[in-house]
Amino acid sequence: MQTIPRHGYTILLVDDNPENIRLLDEALRDDYAIKVATRGEKALEIARSMSIDLILLDVMMPGMDGFETCRRLKEDPATRAIPVIFVTARGEVEDESIGFDCGGVDYITKPVRFPVVRARIKTHLALYRQERTLERMVSSRTAELEATQMEILQCLGRAAEYRDNETGQHVVRMSHYCYLIAKAYGMPENEASLLRTVSPMHDIGKIGVPDRILLKQGRLDEDDRTIIQQHCRIGHSILGSHPSLLLRAAAQVALSHHERWDGSGYPDGLKGAEIPLFSRILAIADVFDALTSSRPYKHAWSPQEAVAEICSCSGSHFEPAVVDAFIRCLPALKEIHLLYGDVDDVTTLPDRPEPAEANR
C-alpha cells in the first residue's frame, strides 16, 4: 500500500544512476511526493509542466550536466524560484562554488547521509514556503495600492470631465477606446491595460481653466486658446513626479495628448516618435469621442463623419499606424459609443465647429 506523503510537497530527483534514485526515493517517499528524471533535459520538462517544490540534482550526467541544468532552470521565469540542492560525488571547493554560482541553494557530496539530506530539504522547503508567503503578501498589498490609485485616478478624471460634460461618460468611453486601439496596434496586454487605466486623467488640467472659456459657446479667440492650452501643463503639474508607474503614465498623457504627428501640436511641438505612444493612441480616441459627442458649444458628428475626418488627418495630426489600428477596431469602438453614449439634452447649439475646435 502506497504511503500518503505527510507534507504535501513534491520533490524532483535528477540522477542518471538508478541505484541513487532508488535510495533517495526510499529515504524521502514517506514524507514527500517524488518525481524522477535521469537526464537534465527531462528534468527541465518536468519542472516546467508540473508543480515542483524542490529539486535534488546530480552534477555528472550524460548530455546536459547538472550545472547547465540548474542554469537553465534559473533562466526560466516559470522555474527559477524552485530551490535546487546539488547531490554529487564532485566535492571540490571549485565545484561547490560553481554550484552556488549556478543558483543552487545547497551542495551535498556523495556518499550521502540521509538524515542530513532530510534536514537540508526540510530547511530549504521552510525557507521556500516563507518566501512564497512573503511574495503573496507583497503582491496582495501592491494590488490593493494599485486599486486605490486607479480609483483616485478615475475620480479625478471625472471631476475634470464634469466641468466640461455633465454626463461624465467621456472618460469611460476614452478608457475603452484607448485599450481597443492599443491592442489593435500590437501593444502588450499589460501596457494596454495601463493606458486604459490612466486615460481618464488626460484632461485633469481643465480644473485650472476658467468656465468662461471651457464652456464658451462659439469659437475661441487667440487669448482663449492660449489659456485653454495651459491645461496640459496644469495636468502634468497636478500629477507631478511620482515613483508610481500609474501616476507617471497619467502625467505623461496629461502633458502630451495634444501633440501632433507633424509637430504642430502643443504644448511642446513634439513630432513623430518624439510623442509618447500612449499619447499618440489617446489623441485619436480623444478626437473620435469629442467629434461624436455633444458639448455646450457643438452638435455631435456621426461616427462615419468622425472616421472620415480622422483618416484625412493621418500623417498630419495622427500617426498613420495608429490610424490603421483605429480602423481595424472600428466595430468595437462603435459598440462602446452606443453602450456609453451621452443623453443629448441640449436644444440650442451653434453650427458644427472645426475638428480642432471640437477637441478643446
pLDDT by position in tens, the chain (length 360): 344 455 689 999 999 999 999 999 999 988 999 999 999 999 999 999 999 999 999 999 998 999 999 999 999 988 999 999 999 888 888 889 999 999 999 999 988 899 999 999 999 999 888 888 888 888 777 777 767 766 666 666 666 666 665 446 778 888 899 999 999 999 999 999 999 989 988 988 988 888 888 777 778 889 999 999 999 999 999 887 777 788 899 999 999 999 999 999 999 999 999 999 999 999 999 999 989 887 666 688 888 999 999 999 999 999 999 999 999 999 999 899 888 876 543 333 334 445 555 565
CATH class of 10-135: alpha beta
Partnered with residue 87 across adjacent β-strands are: 108
Q: What is the Cα–Cα distance from 237 to 205, expressed in whole angstroms?
A: 8
Strands 33-37 and 10-14, bridge-based pairing: parallel
User: Is residue 137 exposed (0-12), middle (13-18) or buried (19+ Cβ within 10 Å)?
Assistant: exposed
C-alpha cell belonging to residue 350: 451653434
The whole-angstrom separation of Cα 38 and Cα 269 is 63
Which cell numbers in the block locate residue 9? 510537497
Superfamily grouping for domain 163-358: Hypothetical protein af1432 (1.10.3210.10)
Domain ranges of the chain: 10-135, 163-358
Cell output for 228? 485653454
| 330 vs 353: CA distance, rounded Å | 24
